[in-house]
Structures are given as C-alpha cells and as structure tokens.
Amino acid sequence: MRKVYLDHAATTPILPEVLEAILPYFKDAYGNPQSLHGWGDDAREAIEDARGRVADLIGAQPEEIIFTSSGTESNNLAIKGLAMAQQSKGKHIVISAIEHFSVLHSARTLEKWGFELTLVPVDRCGLVDREDVAKNIREDTILVSVMHANGEVGTIQPIREIARLAKEAGAIFHTDAVATTGTIPVNVKELTVDALSLAGNQLYGPKGIGALWVKKGVRIIPFLDGGVQEGGRRAGTENVPAIVGLGKAAELAKEEMESRMEHLSALRNRLIGGLLSRNEHVTLTGHPTQRLPGNASFCIEFIEGEATLMLLSSKGVAASSGSACTSRALKASHVLTAMGIPPEIAQGSLLFSLGLENTEEDVDYVLEAMPPIVDKLRQMSPLYAKFLKGERGGR
C-alpha cells in the first residue's frame, strides 16, 4: 500500500544531509562545548557554526540566538522572560486568540502571577485585525505577541504592521515563527520584531531543538538557572548534535527556500482545488491566499475528523484534525473556534500539511481516496440524513 505522510505541521522528517551532519556528534565528537580542551573546542566550534547558520537564515546576529529544547521552550522563555524583564514598566500583555498553547498558556501563567492579559480576536480567515491590536494596546502594555503563521489553518499574519503598533506604544513585540522559519522568508529586520521563536522539527531538522532570537539590547529573564551556557540566558549542557542538526537544516532551508516554496505551493493548490471540486460541502479553512505553502486545511461537513483520519490511515495516509474527538481534552481546536467556525462544522476539521518529499502522485492518491471515505461516513451520519431530508423538503 502507498504511504503518504501529510502531517508536516506535526513534524517534518529529518533530511539525510542533516542526519549525516549530526551523527559524528553522537559518536566521536562528544565533548562538552564549555570544556577547555580539544574535545570541547570541537563541540564549541560546531555549535557556534550552527548559531551562525541559524542567524543567517533569519537575518540576525549569531550572539542574538539562544538555543532551547523546542519551540515550546522558546515561546515560554519569550513570553515569561520578556514580561518579567519589563514588569517595572507595566503588567499588561496582548496576544492573539489563535496562539499556540505554549504562548497562550504561558500568558495564562503570567495572569496568575499578577499580569493582565488581553486576547485579540481573529476574523473568519484567521487574520488578526490591526485595529483590534491598536485598540487593545494600553499605556501599561509591555509585551505583544502574535504568531507569524498558524500551522493549523495556514494563515500568515501581517507581522510588520502589527509590530509597528506595539513599538509605537513602547511595547516589546514577539512572534512565534515556528510554522514559518525555513518555510517562507523570515527576516527579523524586515518583520521589525524584538524576539522570534523557531523550532528544528518544523524545518527538516531534529526534534528537541529550538531557538529564541532576542534583539540585542532587549532584556530577558532566564528561567533555567545554572551555568554560563547561551550567554547565561539558558543554562544546561548544550544539545550539541541537535544544535548541529538545526544549523544544517537552516543552511539548507536558506539555499532551497524558493524551490521549496514553489514545490509546496503547487502541491497545495492541486490538493485544495482537487478536494473542493471532488467533494461537496467542504470548505477551506484559513486565508485563501495569505497562507503557508504546504497548508491545505478544510472542514468537511456532516462527518467527524477522527473517523476521517482513521479511514485515511487505513489507506496509508497521515493527516490531522482539530476536532474535539481527536484531542485528549475532547475540545475543538481553539483556533477554529476563535475563527468563528461553529462547533459542529469544526468537528469535520481535516488538515493536510505537505512537505518536501511529497509528490503530485501523493496528492492524486489522496484525492482518489477521499470521496469514498467522505461518502462512507456521510452514509452513516444522521446529520447528513437530516440535511438531505431538509433539502428535499425545501424543494
């Protein structure tokens, strides 16, 4: 059976070149970068080299990069660390309603610590309205955080414009660029942000590695105390192999950015166009044009996401869903909810996130597989039966 992985929003596979770059640091080059001998020197050079490549990918200075364990840690460090460093100026934070849980829950923790939080809404396409941000920024607002793009629905935010509003008000601006770094051009100077999070497993690097870029001069309070690693901003022996892997992945992403975007956009458009034309009562979620190249997300009416995933899986296709039944907490995706999608429609959420290794044949295979799956579940669905009766009654 053909196997088609279309869940790159969850994690990308690791590229062979990246794996190759990593392996020596699991074997012979095992030194601690802080050690003052040959082994230490090799490891230190390797991570500094990687730091340079990551900085290069986002148009930053190497010393501004803090390596972390994940996108989640980067976001935690950014939200809590930047807010704590700014608290003498005020205690108000503004974030969007569709942030990743690592931002949203960090901000909720700050609330418990005495900060005030405002969530700005998004429209039906998942776009943050600049007016709403402007309205909610106050004199005591110290931090604004809006994600560059949302991996679930693919919508890319006008970060530069939103960042300007924050800066005009004297607030620090952070963006979670985990879904975009390595996928679309991300340049900290062009985005005019103060801090930016990224993660290795979203750009064909390893898991367990992320980075936070903090602009020189912007203060941040670390929350891992210990040694002098990462300029004292993130203690703990460096994860050398993973850092090397992230560096290599960043280098490749920069080199291949344009061709990757072209490849992914073409596949995405084929998948979106094909799915919408071959299946009735399916809507595209997220923005029609301002969206991630590999993101094809839908709501399929009258059926439920988990059941759809199970049938897709039986055909060898891996995808994901924001339906309540697919989440451990049995709650529909907060992103879809914030976009005003009714809960019964959100139940039919289905996300295909494409990657470099996918082909037109993969897309066509999925397009062939979908209609019988949708049909099978609709034949079972009392909602579909009601819909059909209602429609007939209406005529």
Partner 1 sequence: MPVYSDKVMEHFMNPRNVGEIENPDGIGEVGNPVCGDMMTFYIKVDDNQLSDVKFKTFGCGAAIAVSSIVSEMAMGKTLEKARKITPALVAQELEGLPKNKYHCSNLGAQALNKAIDDYLKKPGKKVKSKKRRKDEKE
The angle, 0 to 180 degrees and rounded to 10, between the axes of the packed helices 360-380 and 240-278 is 60
Query: 114 in helix, strand or coil?
Result: coil
Rounded least distance, CB 305 to partner 1, Å: 8
Q: What are phi and psi of 271, to 5 degrees?
A: -70, -45
| Nearest one of 240, 246, 212 to 35, comparing CA atoms | 240
Rounded least distance, CB 344 to partner 1, Å: 4
Query: 280 in helix, strand or coil?
Result: coil
For residue 245, give both structure tokens. Answer: 């892997």
Rounded least distance, CB 204 to partner 1, Å: 24
Rounded least distance, CB 150 to partner 1, Å: 22
Judged by beta carbon, residue 228 or residue 329, the one nearer partner 1 is 329
Rounded least distance, CB 301 to partner 1, Å: 10
> Residues with catalytic annotation?
325
Judged by beta carbon, residue 98 or residue 324, the one nearer partner 1 is 324
Judged by beta carbon, residue 6 or residue 252, the one nearer partner 1 is 6
The single-letter code of the amino acid at 394 is G
Rounded least distance, CB 328 to partner 1, Å: 6
Which CA distances in Å does 305 have to 132, 251, 323? 32, 36, 6
| Nearest one of 120, 118, 139 to 130, comparing CA atoms | 120
Q: Name the CA radius of gyration of the chain, rounded.
A: 22
Judged by beta carbon, residue 160 or residue 386, the one nearer partner 1 is 386
Rounded least distance, CB 308 to partner 1, Å: 10
Measured CA to CA, the distance from residue 376 to residue 368 in angstroms comes to 14
Q: Which residue has the tokens 């998942």?
A: 126
Q: Which residue has the tokens 């082994």?
A: 39
Are 191 and 175 spatial neighbours (Cβ–Cβ below 8 Å)?
yes
Q: What are phi and psi of 238, to 5 degrees?
A: -65, 140
- Which is it for the CA torsion 65, 66, 72, 78, positive or negative? negative
**DSSP E strands, the chain:** 4-5, 65-68, 92-96, 116-120, 141-145, 172-176, 195-199, 210-214, 282-284, 295-300, 317-318, 349-353
Measured CA to CA, the distance from residue 58 to residue 102 in angstroms comes to 21
Judged by beta carbon, residue 328 or residue 392, the one nearer partner 1 is 328
Rounded least distance, CB 29 to partner 1, Å: 39
| Nearest one of 138, 67, 147 to 107, comparing CA atoms | 147
Judged by beta carbon, residue 115 or residue 302, the one nearer partner 1 is 302
Longest CA–CA span in the chain (Å) reads 83
Judged by beta carbon, residue 5 or residue 25, the one nearer partner 1 is 5
Judged by beta carbon, residue 139 or residue 344, the one nearer partner 1 is 344
The count of other CB atoms within 10 Å of the CB of residue 281 is 15
Binding site for partner 1 (CB under 8 A): 302-304, 306-307, 309-310, 313-314, 323-326, 328, 330, 332, 342-344, 347, 379-385
